[in-house]
């Protein structure tokens, strides 16, 4: 059996509202979950993240997954991508009249 260690990291979470649906999204793993309330979305995200972690652990592909999502390994420690700015941009989208 392979020796496993755990690391504790802080991942960014974004909370959105689309219509009546609340969304919880983390760019660190490109994972999202939704709910009927802010709390439901966070609980759903926690379950989604737990399943994701379990599956990657079972497959033994953590290094590959972390690299694919832009994590960096510095001195044997993994670090998630950092959000350095957040904003909004006005755009035009052609729509039927």
Q: pTM score, two decimals? A: 0.83
Tokens 């760019």 -> residue: 27
Instruction: Give the residues across from 26 on adjacent strands.
Output: 31
Q: What are 14-58's pLDDT values in tens digits?
A: 999 999 999 999 999 999 999 999 999 999 999 999 999 999 999
Q: What is the pLDDT of residue 2?
A: 56
Q: What is the DSSP string of 54-81?
A: HHHHHHT-HHHHHHHTT-EEETTEEEPP
On the question of pLDDT at 1 being above 80, the answer is no
Taking alpha carbons only, the member of 16, 46, 6, 4 closest to residue 29 is 46
């Amino acid at each position: 059996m392979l020796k496993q260690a755990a690391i504790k990291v802080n991942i960014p979470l974004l909370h959105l509202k689309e219509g009546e649906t609340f969304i919880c999204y983390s760019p660190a793993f490109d994972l999202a979950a939704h709910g009927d309330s802010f709390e439901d979305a966070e609980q759903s995200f926690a379950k989604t993240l737990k399943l994701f972690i379990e599956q990657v652990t079972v497959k033994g592909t953590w290094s590959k997954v972390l690299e694919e999502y832009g994590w960096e390994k510095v001195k044997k420690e993994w670090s998630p991508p950092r959000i350095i700015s957040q904003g909004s941009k006005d755009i035009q989208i052609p729509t039927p009249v």
